[in-house]
């Protein structure tokens, strides 16, 4: 099978694309796979690291404001369609697969013009502009949430497959659990709250956690807090000015980044995080209740839509980014961590969002389109 994968920008777009590519290579080792992205996003690191070739072109998201820069970016994106057509002609794919983001605009315009079979995968409950724009033109749309189907009425065919992820649910034996607690310098008798905001961190979440620390509010639970690589030193300096050593905070272990995420999920009783589709997928798989602080957007509030899906099921609480502070976060943390039965029930509720055999389902749909 010859496949072009269009993925750019954030890990939420790129990682599903890589997971789909890996599944194709697993099932058909002789497959040739080419990624098309930009020279600005995480794809320049993640795609080559995964062992795939990457071709780049200039593409930008559409914005409502009419400015010289926006007009120039629209022109660049339209012109990039020509380059995308060149890539497609040279590679001659059996199928083009897109996992969202602005790169899908020129790539799918080129695929449509060349009558190449195509699939779009949308991880979020609220489909992005590119997915909405091309939903009626592509052969098939795959979605991560059932809620996304109703927002794509013009699509030829929509299939709920879930979103692929590397995370699986594991159970820690008592020995390993105690080892982790010891390594983190924490207390085995307190509930564990995992806090993260993505690889780059989330300033609003970090600021609220700083408030919990400086106001001495972390008493009935303990935090495992990943600040993000770029924010760790800044936060360390900020705490140091207040006389607090970042490596010696009672009931709180601060890390720049977490590499053993499956173990951290298994160790945790509650999670505080943004509500990207990938994060919700991971929490559904690992049965972890959450306090979601959705990333705000000037356009469609995709992360809030994702969070509300989990909230409606009783698997999460939601605090909007604009409303987040150390006081309301502390109040919610104390309420949830004081009720183990509630946390267990919330974990069962969010697990309703888990879709089994995601990669098998996606591969089946790809084969169906190619065979047509």
Give yes or no for residue 63 having a pLDDT over 60: no
More confident residue, 200 or 103: 103
Which CATH number covers residue 271?
3.40.50.2000
Whether residue 204 is found in the same domain as residue 312: yes
pLDDT mean over 63-84: 66
Three-class secondary structure assignment of the chain = CEEEEECCCCHHHHHHHHHHHHHHHHHCCCCEEEEEECCCCCHHHHHHHCCCEEEECCCCCCCCCCCHHHHHHHHHHHHHHHHHHHHHHHHCCCEEEECCCCCHHHHHHHHHHCCCCEEEEECCCCCCHHHHHHCCCCCEEEECCHHHHHHCCCCCCEEECCCCCCCCCCCCCHHHHHHHHHHHCCCCCCCEEEECCCCCCCHHHHHHHHHHHHCCCCCCCEEEEECCHHHHHHHHHHHHHCCCCCCCECCEEEECCCCCHHHHHHHCCEEEECCCHHHHHHHHHHCCCEEECCCCCCCCCHHHHHHHHHHHCCCEEECCHHHCCHHHHHHHHHHHHCCHHHHHHHHHHHHHHCCCCHHHHHHHHHHHHHHC
Please tell me whether residues 366 and 327 are part of one structural domain: no
pLDDT-based confidence at residue 199 (cuts at 50, 70, 90): low
What confidence tier does 41 reach under pLDDT thresholds 50, 70, 90? confident
How many domains, the chain?
A: 2
Taking the model in full, what pTM does it have? 0.85
Residue 168 maps to a domain: no
- Residue 12 is part of which domain span? 2-162+356-371
The per-residue pLDDT for range 85-109, each reduced to its tens digit, is 999 999 999 999 999 777 888 899 9
């Amino acid at each position: 099978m010859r496949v072009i994968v269009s993925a750019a920008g954030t890990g939420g777009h790129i990682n599903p694309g890589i997971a789909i590519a890996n599944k194709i290579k697993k099932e058909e080792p002789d497959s040739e796979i080419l990624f098309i992205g930009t020279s600005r996003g995480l794809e320049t690191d993640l795609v080559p690291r995964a062992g795939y070739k990457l071709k780049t072109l200039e593409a930008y998201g559409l914005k409502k404001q009419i400015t010289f820069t926006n007009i120039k970016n629209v022109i660049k994106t339209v012109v990039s369609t020509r380059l995308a057509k060149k890539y497609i002609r040279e590679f001659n794919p059996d199928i083009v697969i897109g996992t969202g983001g602005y790169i899908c605009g020129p790539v799918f315009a080129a695929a449509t013009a060349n009558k190449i079979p195509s699939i779009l995968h949308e991880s979020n409950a609220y489909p992005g502009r590119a997915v909405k724009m091309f939903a009626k033109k592509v052969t098939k749309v795959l979605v991560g949430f059932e809620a996304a189907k109703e927002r794509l009425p013009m699509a030829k065919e929509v299939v709920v497959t879930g979103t692929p992820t590397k995370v699986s649910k594991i159970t820690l034996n008592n020995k390993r659990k105690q080892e982790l607690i010891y390594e983190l310098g924490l207390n085995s008798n307190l509930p564990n709250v995992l806090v993260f905001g993505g690889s780059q961190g989330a300033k609003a979440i970090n600021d609220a956690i700083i408030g919990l620390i400086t106001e001495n509010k972390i008493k009935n639970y303990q935090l495992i807090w990943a600040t993000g690589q770029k924010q760790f030193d800044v936060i360390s300096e900020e705490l140091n000015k207040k006389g607090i050593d970042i490596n010696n905070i009672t009931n709180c272990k601060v890390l720049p980044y977490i590499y053993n995420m499956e173990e951290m999920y298994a160790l945790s009783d509650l999670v505080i995080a943004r509500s990207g589709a990938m994060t919700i997928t991971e929490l559904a798989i690992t049965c972890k209740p959450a306090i979601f602080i959705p990333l705000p957007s000037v356009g469609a509030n995709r992360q809030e839509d994702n969070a509300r899906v989990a909230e409606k099921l009783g698997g999460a609480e939601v605090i909007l980014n604009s409303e987040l502070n150390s006081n309301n976060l502390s109040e919610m943390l104390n309420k949830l961590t004081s009720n183990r039965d509630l946390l267990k029930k919330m974990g069962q509720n969010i697990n309703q969002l888990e879709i089994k055999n995601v990669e098998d389902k996606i591969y089946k749909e790809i084969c169906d389109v190619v065979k047509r």
